[in-house]
Structure 1
């Protein structure tokens, strides 16, 4: 039987940059913050959930894509960001939690495709060349992660 979910979000999350071999990047627009475009993100469900498992789960929940499907390559970039949680979202975390640690992954898919968004989380999607995706992201850490794509994503595609 799975553990019950914690009462508060855990301050350990993943950021998954979904991209094609041509370095086109999927961005999704937050439903609760129109104009805030981002990659797939999400917190661990439990303290012992592996970051890779979190990445696979969040990609499925937010886009309907299977990160382990044939032709898809999920890469752990071995990078982490520690950032201050935006004040408007701190109520989701335990009292006193102000920072989150985010683990970075890339997911290479063969070509741009429409994805199935979770309407309570996201309202729109687009595929953009990596430079344009960097410019559109509201989060500087997300933009920086996309900036790593030509080096990390290009080296790890198979």
Structure 2
């Protein structure tokens, strides 16, 4: 089955804007925030973000104490050649929807070992510099504009 070319990016941070990055197991040195594709075309983005956050870090967004914030921001980017085989023939671009979540600094982080090997809490600028993806780096840099979240 091919991956759906629509995904979420979840920037995990503390109230003082330290950012959690995770290193990809299949690409040592590639650091990122939580990312993941929709499981089905009609999967709500908030469900994708909640699922991926838990699968990749063990963090549960309960909607109250740990609440995902939808930035209502989408990035369209070219899929790296090395990962295009995961998508249907001819698919070259992905639409990524950006979320963030503020967590306590001491929250347990449980990585999915098949996806990630280690994690690091980093100051905002250092985290942006370490991201291998330009859209991820840009989201980290935009974090101060989205936290604290505005009232709905």
TM-score under structure 2 normalisation?
A: 0.95
Q: Is the CA contact 1:71–1:110 (under 8 Å) kept in the aligned structure 2?
A: no
Q: Does structure 1 residue 85 correspond to structure 2 residue 79?
A: yes
The answer to which of 122-131 and 107-116 deviates more is 107-116
**Equivalences, count:** 151
Q: Deviations over 1:34-60 (max 9, x none)?
A: 000000000000000011000000000
Q: Which residue of 1 aligns with 2:62?
A: 68
Q: Which residue of 2 aligns with 1:122?
A: 116
Q: Which residue of 1 aligns with 2:44?
A: 50
Q: Give the deviation of 1:89 after TM superposition.
A: 0.2
1:41 counterpart (23, 27, 35): 35
TM-score under structure 1 normalisation?
A: 0.92
Q: Name the CA distance, whole Å, in 2 between partners of 1:95 and 1:152.
A: 36
Structure 1 residue runs of 4 or more that deviate by more than 6 Å after TM superposition? none
Q: Name the CA distance, whole Å, in 2 between partners of 1:126 and 1:133.
A: 9
Q: Which residue of 1 aligns with 2:96?
A: 102
Q: Name the CA distance, whole Å, in 2 between partners of 1:120 and 1:86.
A: 20
- What SS does the aligned partner of 2:149 have? helix
Listed as ranges, the gaps of 5+ residues in structure 2 are none
Q: Give the deviation of 1:155 after TM superposition.
A: 3.5
- What SS does the aligned partner of 1:154 have? coil
The Cα RMSD (Å) is 1.3
2:10 counterpart (13, 16, 23): 16
Listed as ranges, the gaps of 5+ residues in structure 1 are 1-6
- C-alpha spacing 1:27/1:156, structure 2 compared with 1 (3 Å): farther
Q: Give the deviation of 1:129 after TM superposition.
A: 1.0
Q: Give the deviation of 1:113 after TM superposition.
A: 3.2
Q: Is the CA contact 1:20–1:112 (under 8 Å) kept in the aligned structure 2?
A: no
